[in-house]
């Protein structure tokens, strides 16, 4: 029987369902309440332990995170298995990204601003989703869910990934990173859902940002480091984009004195599109966790085991 330390905030019914999985002894603790004794006891941690906590867990064999992005664990000891919640967030984040596009195209942010001034004024009209060309930079679960929704609304979608993939029915084509610069000038929406790897850090510097289509919409829901923050500021100040939506930033959280906060074309949210507590994500994450606990108890291969060096699986 393996010892499992669960540090997630769970609804009562979820806790009961996990406790009923045979083959384990469980301790449920909030992260801030975890003791050195808990860590020394644990063979499995379901949650997001720090690397310092991992050092205090000599018997640790496996970490099951509730996250999709696991770049913080690139230095995890080789003998510890790491599995993530890949696929659990696609629906919720895909909806968030679609809402960003619709909000920008219908100028809802601008209308919210002039409402405060009690202005009754038409600000013009957007392009219309059915006339848009959409590029998803990153086409895993999140990017694909986004493209599916945009395609359903009539947009023409393309995806960009590290390696070539087959083209799904809701996309016009799938491309690789080395083709990115050819695509950018023609895209009305550029949406980033990238993990943090050596290939993606600072992928969008000033030169690449300026290759995007003037008046396009930029969205980042992956990792803030995909965009060079200072370079983005310079491009935004030229009103190059009709709207920029940042659910992730570099650094994160964004310092209160950062000028991006007050740029009128920029909309910043505090990394909430993929929040585990979001009802759209919660049950999906729990499903992955329960399935992997059952698989481990039965000696079956785990789902979504991460290649710690590449950040992939």
CATH code of 66's domain:
3.40.50.720
What is the spatial distance between Cα 253 and Cα 270, in angstroms, rounded to a whole number?
7
Neighbouring residues of 31: CB distance < 8 A, sequence distance ≥ 6? 7, 47, 48
| Helices 90-105 and 279-297: angle between axes, nearest 10 degrees | 160
- Structural domain boundaries, residue 20: 2-88+281-297
pLDDT band at 72 (very low <50, low <70, confident <90, very high): confident
**CA 99, CA 146: separation in Å to the nearest integer?**
10
Whole-number Å distance between alpha carbons of 192 and 143: 8
Q: What is the pLDDT of residues 193-210, one digit of tens each?
A: 999 999 999 999 999 999
Residue with tokens 């990204």: 97
What H or E segment, with its residue span, contains residue 148?
A: helix 141-152
Cα distance between the two ends of the chain: 27
**Is residue 163 domain-shared with residue 260, that is, in the same domain?**
yes
Number of domains in the chain: 2
Q: What region, left, alpha or beta, does residue 26 occupy, with left being phi > 0 and alpha being psi -120 to 50 degrees?
A: beta
For residues 209 and 236, membership in a common domain is answered with yes
Average pLDDT over residues 207-214: 98
The reply to whether 43 and 155 lie within a common domain is: no
Quote the pLDDT of residue 278: 82
- Cross-strand partners of 135: 158, 190
More confident residue, 165 or 225: 225
Q: What is the pTM of this model?
A: 0.91
Residue 172 domain flag = yes
CA atoms within 13 A on the CB side of 130: 2
- Crossing angle between the packed helical segments 90-105 and 108-116, to the nearest 10 degrees: 60
Q: How far apart are CA 154 and CA 103, in angstroms?
A: 16
Instruction: Tell me the C-alpha distance between 225 and 251, whole Å.
Output: 8
Domain contains 307: no
**254 inside domain:** yes
Same domain (yes/no): 68, 147: no
- Clarify whether residues 101 and 84 are in a common domain: no
The verdict on 11 and 120 lying in the same domain is: no
Residues 76 and 134 in one domain: no
Residue 19 covered by a domain = yes
List pLDDT tens digits, range 124-167. Answer: 999 999 999 999 999 999 999 999 999 999 999 999 999 988 99
In a domain, 242, yes or no: yes
């Amino acid at each position: 029987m393996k010892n499992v330390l669960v540090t997630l905030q769970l609804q009562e019914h979820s806790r009961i369902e996990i406790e009923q999985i045979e083959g384990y002894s469980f301790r449920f603790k909030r992260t801030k309440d975890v003791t050195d004794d808990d860590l020394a006891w644990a063979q499995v941690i379901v949650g997001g332990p720090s690397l310092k906590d991992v050092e205090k867990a000599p018997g640790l064999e496996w970490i099951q995170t509730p996250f999709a992005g696991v770049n913080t664990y690139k230095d995890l000891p080789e003998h510890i298995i790491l599995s993530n919640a890949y696929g659990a967030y696609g629906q919720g984040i895909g909806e968030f990204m679609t809402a960003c596009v619709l909000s920008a195209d219908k100028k809802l942010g601008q209308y919210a601003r002039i409402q405060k001034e009690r202005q009754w004024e038409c600000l013009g009209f957007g392009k219309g989703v059915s006339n848009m060309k959409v590029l998803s930079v990153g086409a895993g679960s999140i990017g694909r869910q986004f493209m599916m929704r945009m395609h359903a609304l009539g947009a023409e979608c393309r995806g960009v990934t590290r390696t070539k993939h087959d083209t799904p029915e809701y996309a016009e084509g799938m491309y690789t990173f080395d083709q990115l610069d050819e695509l950018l000038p023609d895209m009305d929406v550029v949406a980033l859902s990238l993990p943090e790897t050596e290939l993606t850090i600072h992928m969008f510097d000033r030169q690449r940002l300026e290759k995007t289509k003037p008046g396009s919409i930029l969205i980042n829901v992956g990792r803030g480091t995909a965009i060079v923050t200072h370079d983005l500021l310079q491009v935004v100040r030229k009103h190059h984009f009709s709207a920029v939506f940042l659910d992730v930033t570099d650094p994160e959280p964004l310092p209160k004195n950062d000028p991006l906060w007050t740029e009128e074309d920029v909309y910043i949210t505090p990394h909430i599109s993929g929040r585990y507590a979001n009802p759209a994500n919660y049950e999906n994450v729990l499903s992955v966790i329960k399935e992997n606990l059952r698989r481990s108890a039965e000696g079956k291969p785990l789902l979504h085991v991460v290649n710690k060096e590449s950040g992939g699986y």
